[in-house]
Amino acid sequence: MSTEIPTGLRQARTLSILFGVFLILNALRDLTGVWPRWKATEVTWPVLLQLSGYFYILVGSYLLLPWKKLMHSPRWAWAWGLLTLLCVMFAFAMITEVMAKNYIAQSAGLKAKPPVFQAILLFAALAQPPITFFLRRPDLLD
């Protein structure tokens, strides 16, 4: 059994870090009001938008944890379980956002745009638990 981490997995971890930074910057953009994703006239619950911004910062920060150091920690299973939960919650948030945008477009008599951006974020988030798991157990990739 080889415990050497394959190059593709190291590259995936680098992309995970970039994804975490992107989530943090995107959330900060929303929280500061610079080029927001939602029009102020469409939002009836601005508190939820703020909470989603803080949640994205939490998920992005959690992706930036030093998983290589956590690999040999007895707390790794708990950390990985929380990562999985956060990623599933993030996917749920993306689906909820798409549903909200469809509802807003439908009430305005328009057709909603395809949710390409949310789909990319959803699948990127769902890829994080397997990447982290296989960093710890690269021998299971074969």
- What pLDDT does 60 receive? 96
Cα distance between residue 28 and residue 22, in whole Å? 10
Look at residue 129 and tell me if it is in a domain: yes
Domain that residue 127 falls in = 7-141
- What pLDDT does 42 receive? 63
Question: Could you write out the DSSP letters of every residue in 81-127?
Answer: HHHHHHHHHHHHHHHHHHHHHHHHHHHTT-PPPP-HHHHHHHHHHHT
- What pLDDT does 24 receive? 96
Cα distance between residue 90 and residue 135, in whole Å? 22
- What pLDDT does 49 receive? 78
Number of domains observed in the structure of the chain: 1
- What pLDDT does 141 receive? 79
Look at residue 34 and tell me if it is in a domain: yes
pLDDT in tens, the chain (142 residues): 456 778 888 899 999 999 999 999 999 988 887 766 666 666 666 677 788 889 999 999 999 999 888 888 889 999 999 999 999 999 999 998 888 888 888 887 888 888 898 999 999 999 999 999 998 888 887 7
Look at residue 43 and tell me if it is in a domain: yes
Cα distance between residue 79 and residue 140, in whole Å? 20
Two tokens, residue 128: 């994080």
Look at residue 2 and tell me if it is in a domain: no
Question: Could you write out the DSSP letters of every residue in 21-51?
Answer: HHHHHHHHHHHHTSS-SS-TTT-S-HHHHHH
- What pLDDT does 121 receive? 93
- What pLDDT does 109 receive? 86
Whether residue 59 contacts residue 86, with contact meaning beta carbons closer than 8 Å, is answered with yes
Look at residue 81 and tell me if it is in a domain: yes
What is the reported pTM?
0.85
